[in-house]
Amino acid sequence: MIHRKPVGRLRNITVTVDPSGSAYASCLFDDSLEAPVHELSEKPKVIGIDLNLERLAVCSDGTEHGNPHALKQHEKKLKHKQKLLSKKCKGSKNWKKLKTEIAVLHEKIADIRKDSIHKMTKRIVCDSQADVIVIEDLNVSGMMRNHKLSKHVQDALFYEIRRQIEYKCLWYGKTLVMADRFFASSRTCSNCGWHNDGLTLGDRQWECPVCHTRHDRDRNADMNLASFGLKALAGDAGEAKPLEMPSVDDRAATHLRSMASVKEEKDHGYSMEASRFA
């Protein structure tokens, strides 16, 4: 049953077989349409996004996106099945049957993650009507080396969130600004700029001793990221790191430009088409 008729020329078909035995066919069509170019207004809407483990994404426009904790929901059942598997004779029918059940459970956990992240990134990029989206360049591999956080970081899929925001910004003509991973978004007071060097991961709220503003850690971080984005557009926030787009299907790698580079191109009279990266 086809719920949506494909448009364009069929490029390739990729067949994927999961460990549970489920098979999927991904069809890639070339519609010959170029990615839209978004023209920014004089006062663009900028949204900063702070990613964390408890609330998956907190945005500066006041919206929050919860973490489904997919692994936590099914961890007890998964451990029970894995314990039973260890007692089965390897290669037996019962062993193969239980192995398939565990694979199905792993797929269910992965599907919950992918579904929530796709919905969240779609809301952030499209439904928020933001012109500019600012996220942090998180050191995910470094976070995974922390044995206390690695399981939760893997369950949150920070890298996948960033990847989806990147290519959806390209698809829908949005501007994406990447803040450097050393940018102190949580430690800096969004009201007066005071830097809190003593802030730890356990401190979810703190008060600025200079302006006495009471901060929620995540809300303060997304406000600072939004301010970083505004400064990056004006070209006075240092470097706004240009992103190399990840491959989506068989698309060529593309670079998202910071608005600082776009502004520079306009000042020099370059056309938008000539400045497209290959």
Neighbouring CB atoms inside 10 A of 47's CB total 23
218 is catalytic: yes
The candidate with the shortest Cα–Cα distance to 35, out of 189, 176, 169, 225, is 169
CA 192 to CA 186: how far, in whole Å? 13
CA 125 to CA 208: how far, in whole Å? 32
Residue of 155, 166, 218, 222 marked catalytic = 218
Beta-bridge partner residues of 23: 17
Task: Give the DSSP letter of residue 195.
Answer: B
Residue of 136, 155, 166, 222 marked catalytic = 136
CA 168 to CA 90: how far, in whole Å? 44
50 is catalytic: yes
> Exposed (0-12), middle (13-18) or buried (19+): which is 97, by Cβ within 10 Å?
exposed
Residue of 50, 155, 166, 222 marked catalytic = 50
Do strands 132-136 and 175-179 pair parallel, antiparallel, or not at all (unpaired)?
parallel
CA 181 to CA 112: how far, in whole Å? 28
111 is catalytic: no
The distance from CA 126 to its chain's CA centroid, rounded to whole angstroms, is 14
Q: Are 188 and 194 in contact (CB under 8 A)?
A: yes
Beta-bridge partner residues of 6: none
User: Mind telling me the catalytic residues?
Assistant: 50, 136, 218
